[in-house]
Chains A and B, each alone.
Chain A
Amino acid sequence: MSRSTAIEAGLGPAPAGSPAAAGPLRAPGWRGPKLRKKTELTILLAPALILFVGFVFIPIVIAAYYSFYNWSGYGPLSDPIGFRNYSYAFHDPAFIQAIEHTLELTVASVVIQGPLSIGIALLLNRKFFGRGFLRTVVFAPYVLPPAVTGVMWSLILQPGGFADQLLKAFGLGGLVQLWLANVHVVLFTVFVVLTWQYLGFGIVLLLAGLQNIPIELKQAAAIDGASPWQVTRRITLPLLAPTIRIWGFLTVIGSLQIFDIVWVLTEGGPAGASSTITSYMVLQGVDSTDFGFASAIAVILFVFCLVFALIYQRFALRRDMQGAITRAVG
């Protein structure tokens, strides 16, 4: 499905102003004898294409096929049930809840981590003692395996553990909660851990973006009498917008499939209070061996990602990605 979308889009007219249109591409082309060129192309292209189609496209096609069956994962497909897996999913309160949690985490990531990393990046974008070191430190959580981060935080957050003791030491003992066992708190806890892991990446990405803004623009504005706040608001932030949009794209695509940290902290519990689409899918597939149904969930998740990418591309990213993704999904 995704394949045909992509190819159709690719055959469509190139978007106006696309720099990739024929011109510069033609120059480095080879014009050798036909057969030889064909052989060389096959040698170069076929292995990657086989790997890619085999392990990226075929599985989702298989899943789409399985999703129309009642199937436990073993034996032949003998019980076609049409769209019943899908209608069951959307009538299952636990799945609706998982979608809600996923969307809440996604929105919170954008709305809270976004301004936070922009603000911190702006403040850190000046020379001060130890800046390079701080940047490396702040980036550190991002390179940790999320599952290991999850184990670390589950130790910190256990009842009476380090986090609780620390709160008490600061006189905030009243805030102490069963961080991972209270159904009203657990999603908040998951979000805090996600923020710990991913905030540094946003900061470092935005800092890199800030450093690409030509200083002359800011100097000119300052000489013309713009206040530092005006320089930030009218010059720096608009010029940082492409980087912010890229951050947004990566954050949302990442949040929609959030799994590792949730699984290690709570396995989606207690009572589904921190479930996400992916954790629900894994529970249905592996633990309940209802693979027809889990396949339907995988297809739904895929459609979510695709729809988001199309919308985001249409409204936010178009100007930044005249190349690759414009042609892929525009």
Chain B
Amino acid sequence: MAAITQLSAPGSAPGHSGRYALRRWTVIPATYLVAIVAFGLTVVPLLFVIVDGFRTNGDINNSPAGWPHPWVASNYTSILTSASFWEFIGNSALIATVATTLTLVLGSMAALALSQYEFKGREVFYTVFVSGILFPIGVGALPLYLLLQRLGLLDNQFGVALPEAAFALPFTMIILRPFLRAIPGELREAALVDGASRFRYFGQILLPLAKPALITVGLLAFVTSWNQYLLPLLVLQTSSHFTLPLGTYTFQTQYSQNDAGIMAFTAMAMVPALGVFMFAQRYIVAGAAGAVKG
């Protein structure tokens, strides 16, 4: 990346300095212009919601685009002290944690079987898992609702977490198996010579080495579960079981007259995602790309 600047810097290509100087004068301002516009378009809507959360409803009605006058914190404090907000957070956290744990444990076990053993039908099993990537949870949601109804898992947080873990398995396998296969076999021989059992070798040597891949897979599963809307919408019925996205929309429809309250609630609903996931950017992008590339 540093080298690219080198390329466009005048003088790096002898004989073309004129052209590159021109490029410098047009491209660099264009870069900053695009950067500023992109920044503004991303940040202004977010700031609007956060700032409006500090206003009163009367203030918002008087001037929908103005600054708070006066600033009030009561919208935020009443949400932070309401039981339901924390219930939504707790449900989202519970479901995402269960889904992520299941994905990681079952996914790495299966990836070990499909990478460290030789047996007939191994590629068929792998193909069965991988074909699931064509099958986004949005397509499966209604059929899942019917299945969960039969299993008596409707309105149950586990009824959301179990399918989410299942739908996270394809990309888990696609990322984990090549990673595990790339770890040199000499390590295994050495561990065996030292008297370690296979499972001990898996648990104490192989999986610790696969940590970067496990982090990617775990983060993707967690973020996907945390942001999931359709499945919880269909499955969960009691509001004390709702996840955060579900709760946010419900709050909006219930208190449609209380704009300031909705703003504050929406802002608070964004905090966990913005605070945590933004910094996991590298893993999320690598994971999403890796999941398709295979």
Contacts and interface: CB of A to CB of B under 8 A. Distances in A.
* A-B interaction: yes
A130 B185 contact: no
Contacts of A208: 285-286, 289
Nearest to A29: B118
Nearest to B2: A127
Interface string B217-259: 0000001001111100110000000001110110010000001
B30 interface: yes
Interface in B120-139: 123-136, 138-139
A15 interface: no
Given A10-B124, A25-B181, A285 B142 contact: yes
A118 interface: no
A60 B140 contact: yes
A250 interface: yes
B4 A204 contact: no
A323 B49 contact: no
B146 A145 contact: no
Contacts of A282: 142, 230, 233-234
Contact of A309 (B48, B134, B169, B281): B134
B133 to A, nearest CB: 7
Interface string B156-179: 000000110111010000100010
Given A52-B128, A282-B233, 15 more contacts: A3-B131, A27-B185, A48-B107, A52-B169, A63-B142, A140-B42, A143-B273, A143-B274, A147-B245, A147-B246, A148-B273, A152-B46, A242-B293, A258-B138, A291-B142
Interface of A: 2-3, 5-7, 9-11, 20, 24-32, 37, 40-41, 43-45, 47-49, 51-56, 58-60, 62-63, 66, 73, 120, 123-128, 130-131, 134-148, 150-156, 160-162, 164-166, 169, 196, 200-201, 203-205, 208-209, 211, 215, 218-219, 222-223, 225, 227-228, 231, 242-243, 246, 249-250, 253-254, 257-260, 263-264, 278, 281-282, 285-286, 291, 294-295, 297-298, 301-302, 305-306, 309, 317, 320-325, 327-329
